[in-house]
Amino acid sequence: MKLRRTYLTAIAALIAAVSFSNARVFGAGKEISRQMSYEKLCYTCHKDIRQTWQGQRLHAPVELGNCIGCHNPHASNHADLVLSAKNRYCFNCHDKSSPEFGSEHEHGPVKDGLCLSCHQPHASRQANLLSAPQSELCYTCHQEEKKEFAKQYMHAPVGQAECLRCHSPHTTSETNLLRKRSSELCSECHESSQPGFGKAHADYPVQKQGCSDCHDPHSSSAEGLIRAFPHVPMVKKLCSFCHRPASGADPFGLVKSEDGLCKSCHADTWKQFERSIVHPPIREGKCTACHSAHASNERFLMRQAKQSLCAECHTSFSERYKLQFVHEPVSKGQCELCHEPHAGNTPSLLKTNVMELCKRCHTEQHTVSHPFGEGVIDPRDGSMLDCVSCHDPHSSAEEYLVYYPRERELCIQCHKAI
């Protein structure tokens, strides 16, 4: 009883002391933090981390000693006790709706919230807390591009690894993350008043046009950074063969219709277009929907690699490429192995009927397989059973490109009694 009375007396005394001092004590951590800054408190344990930052540029919260600006001091559902998921916590301070981050085209790491792919969270010897010198940083991801750039003639910013002279590291309203329209970017260094500019461009006022229509912005095997496959009239500066006079009011207007111009030289190709099924761009006279009129890094003057070019219109393919099993010609962008690019006599512009087309590569499967071909009817629609009755010619989530799992579901599409 005496012990209990002594204990209650001590508690009462403690409460009175706290009340008279006007102190708001919510636990040992609060009391300690009242006596020293969060910075000093954190560094009582994390001394080694602090030492590694000596002489470096500090992130503002680190410099201000505001560790809890990013970290929870007690517990978190995220690694390193950060306040929120790593794809979001930077935007607690860095407004994602600002022009720097809110434009249409996003750099992959920005889109995925992977800020630490490029930046250090605490300190760095580089400006903007970059993880490496800017001349090295971009190539940590863009290794394939670096190989592509190693050609005889290299654009000066590429040679100096000054990617940000042309590209935004975060977001932009321009494609390819360009800071401005390509003609505006180029004119920052290449002024049209420079001696020889007019002569090099047959006196056409190209300074406000798309410089990259003819020139590779990174590197080339040709002098003047001309793209790998230039159109003959462009090389010979026969601009007036297609365009109105350079001194006229509309120098870039065409002297005749687009397809009429192309037919002037490519008359033999035009004979193909008499077939029964014509590719819509051809039918509409839009050759430049697929081909560049001036120069390209792709054969046949294709505007871009065939895989991405075809997907511009055939939009479902952007998702089809992501499936686990993709037909090899599709994965390599070799659409023309199966399809005619201009016109044909077979549905879907196939080069020949499905049976013969598949047999060109899959010879063995055509000798030992499920019955198919003439006389074998697909009970679902009454058509002839062929390769694409069971296999998707482009991609599938199932092995062998079948539409359904092979164990049973594929078979019972026809064999209902099983």
Where b means 16+ CB within 10 Å and e means fewer, 273-290 reads: eeeeebbebbeeeebebb
Q: What is the pLDDT of residue 418?
A: 64
Helix, strand, or coil here: 317? helix
Three-state SS for 335?
helix
pLDDT of residue 36: 57
pLDDT of 39: 73
- Other CB atoms within a 10 A radius of the CB of residue 238 amount to 13
**Three-class secondary structure assignment of 183-227:** HHHHHCCCCCCCCCHHHHCCCCCHHHCCHHHCECCCEECCHHHEC
CA–CA dist 158, 333 (Å, integer):
28
Q: Domain-by-domain residue ranges, the chain? A: 33-141
Note the pLDDT of residue 100: 86
According to the model, what pLDDT value does residue 192 have?
Answer: 87
Cα dihedral 79, 80, 82, 88, rounded to 10, equals -50
Residues of the chain below pLDDT 70 = 1-36, 418
Q: At CA 17, angle to CA 16 and CA 22, rounded to 5? A: 100
Strand intervals (E) in 83-135: 105-106, 123-124
pLDDT score at 185: 92
Q: CA dist 35 to 38, 43, 47, 104, 252, Å?
A: 10, 14, 19, 48, 75
Please report the pLDDT score of residue 21 as a whole number: 38
Q: Looking up tokens 């601009």, which residue turns up?
A: 239
Tell me the per-residue pLDDT of 192-230, one tens digit each, with 9 for 90 and over. 888 889 999 999 999 888 899 999 999 999 999 999 999
- Any bridge partners for residue 277, and if so which? 344
Is residue 348 within 8 Å of residue 335, measured between CB atoms? no
Task: Give residue-wise pLDDT tens across range 369-395.
Answer: 788 988 999 999 999 999 999 999 999
**Tokens read off for 390:** 């069971």
Tokens of 259: 């397809």
Helices (H), 64-161: 108-111, 134-137, 143-148, 156-159
Question: Would you state the pLDDT for residue 140?
Answer: 93
pLDDT, residue 365, reads 82
* Residue 20, pLDDT score: 34
Q: Which residues of 361-391 are buried (b: 16+ CB within 10 A; e: fewer)?
A: eeeeeeeeeeebeeeeeeeeeeeebbbbbbb
CA distance 126 to 118: 11
Q: SS3 string of 26-70?
A: CCHHHHHHHHCCHHHHHHCCCHHHHHHCCCCEECHHHHCCCHHHC
